[in-house]
Structures are given as structure tokens and as C-alpha cells.
Amino acid sequence: MNLLGNIIWLIFGGLVVFIEYMIAGLLLCVTIIGIPFGIQCFKIGILSLMPFGREVREVPGDSGCLSTLFNIIWIVVGGIWIALTHLFFGVLLAITIIGLPFAKQHFKLMGLSFTPFGKEIV
């Protein structure tokens, strides 16, 4: 079931989202200051490529203060808009019964895109 969900996800926008995150990650990695944020874009992009069958969880023994500071910078610079976009598409897909699994994946991406530092994909 996860394979079928991932294939349908790719056809209906998952590939485009993946490419957008990869381009943003490459642009952020051009500068030294942007490298940690570019790595987070790569992490979100890989999850957005095939989200079915994966989950996001907190990293045990996280760095704490630095992770919190980077999450605040991420939210202020653009994370809020990315999360709101995933929220919009999640709500839009949740209206239909057939779109519920895809809405769930958008909500998972929303949580990760709002505060990506200190989280891992399993």
C-alpha cells in the first residue's frame, strides 16, 4: 500500500515539491551560513519524495539551544509560509475521502517544515 501511495503522490505533485526543496537546498548551501538550512531543505525534500511509510520523530539527545535558535530563524525566514502551504493543501485534500491519506502526509510535512531542526526521518 505504501508503494502505491508513493507512486500516486509522485504523479500528483510530490516530484515537483521534491525538486523545489532540492533547488532551495542547493541555493542555501552556496553560502556558509545557509548550509544548516540547506541540509534541512534536503531532509524535507527527501521526505516529500516518498512520504508513505516514513515518520518524523524527535532526535534523542538533541543539541537543544542551537537547535531552538535555528528553528526560530527558520520560522521567521520562511518556515511559517512553507508550513501554511502544507496546511492549506492538507485541508483541501481532507475534504474528500479519497484525499485523506494525502492530507495526512501534508500534515506530516507541515510539522517537519515548521521546525525541522532536532527531528529525524525514520
- β strands within the chain, DSSP E: 56-58, 119-121
| pLDDT of the chain, 122 residues: tens digit per residue | 899 999 999 998 899 899 999 999 999 999 999 999 999 999 999 999 999 999 999 887 766 788 889 999 999 999 999 999 999 999 999 999 999 999 999 999 999 999 999 999 99
CA–CA distance, 38 with 4 (Å, rounded to integer): 29
For 17, 22, 102, 104, the CA distances from 9, given in Å and listed in that order, are 10, 17, 7, 12
Name the pTM for this structure. 0.89
